[in-house]
Amino acid sequence: MNNLTEIPLEYLQQTRQRYRQPKPKVKIMTVGVALICNNAIVMASDSQMSDWETGITDRDENKIVRIDFANGASALVARSGHADYSSQAVERLINAAAAERLDEYRKPAELANAAVTEVKRNIIEELQLQGDTLVHYFAGHSFTLMVAYYFQSEPYVYIIRSETAGPTLMRGPQPHAKDRTRVAIGCGELLANFFLSSQDIADMQLGTAIATAIYAVEEVKKADPRCAGPTKAAYTIPVVSRDFPEKKVQTVLMSREEVEERVQRLNKFDADFKAEWKRKLTEMVYGVAREISESGITASPSLTQLRVDTADTDKKEPPDSSR
């Protein structure tokens, strides 16, 4: 075959189908965070969901839900990625948890992983995906669940990604756990981790951790237009009780009013703090400039020193070439 016209049409169609990566129909462009503080696990997320085909945007999607177990235990689940598929996985997880006891530390993560696996299996059977087409489809329709809970007074956070096998333990007492105090998911993951990297989350109390999680999501929304909508927040805390360790947990989904009140306070504090920071920075810059002016230096120290060295060299007599 010397040119394109000699390539069979059937071959071109097969090649196009093989390497075409379909766009997700509905995508949650999420930022979701989980903070493991001194006495609680706090979750916060944005609430925007976009339909790529219709362009319709829902700015009030609940991306954090509570799951309840048969023995009264509970957990929090946040989701990101493909909206339809992640929603199906969460629904399956809620139904499965209602019939199970939280009697083993991996139980919520395993149930979440089973829900994700079942959703993927149904997709494969319905669309008859295989080979490269299957890989490309899930690359463009991926989703993630983040599960947070307490078991026997120990905090656990797992990540379950549709494109990988099995849950990843991000926080727990086990030796192989990553032992993180913050976990983020979604397209705003890097920004959220950046905003939270300087915070001493492990020593925070519940109130401070809630404000910090909400603040991180609010800052990501300012920087990433794909994350928007009212911020949602929730927390789970161990409750003092002598009986049934698996029941020593209280899980709360915060109301819109509770979150909005904190957002308003944070915005005022942020504005005041930035104004004060700007004032101090201006004073510092003018102070440095004044010191430079009074000392007679007209350039940076390194450049000034270079000029002095050059001047000293110019004053020296040239070596006697007759020697």
Q: Is the pTM of this model over 0.85?
A: no
What letter would DSSP give residue 14?
Answer: H
Q: Containing H/E element for 255?
A: none
What's the CA gap between 244 and 79, in Å, rounded? 29
Per-residue model confidence as pLDDT tens digits over 167-192:
999 988 877 666 689 999 999 999 99
Please give the pLDDT value at position 235: 97
Q: CATH assignment of 15-254?
A: 3.60.20.10
Give me the residue spans of the domains in the chain. 15-254, 256-311
Quick count: other Cβ atoms within 10 Å of Cβ 304? Answer: 15
Q: Identify the pLDDT of residue 55.
A: 59
Of the candidates 55, 52, 49, 57, which has an alpha carbon nearest to the alpha carbon of residue 25? 52
CA distance 303 to 283: 25
Strands 154-161 and 168-171: antiparallel
Strand order in the sheet with 31-36: 182-186, 31-36, 41-45, 232-238, 249-253
Tell me what percent of the residues of the chain surpass a pLDDT of 70: 76
pLDDT, position 290: 83
Six token digits for residue 163: 């494109």
Tens of pLDDT, residues 236-260: 998 755 544 444 678 999 999 999 9
pLDDT of the chain, 323 residues: tens digit per residue: 445 455 555 544 554 444 444 454 555 568 999 999 998 999 999 998 876 555 567 778 899 999 999 999 999 999 999 888 999 999 999 999 999 999 999 999 999 999 999 999 999 999 998 888 888 888 888 999 999 999 988 999 999 999 887 899 998 887 766 668 999 999 999 999 999 999 999 999 999 999 999 999 999 999 998 899 999 999 999 875 554 444 467 899 999 999 999 999 998 888 887 788 888 888 888 888 888 887 766 555 544 444 444 445 444 455 554 44
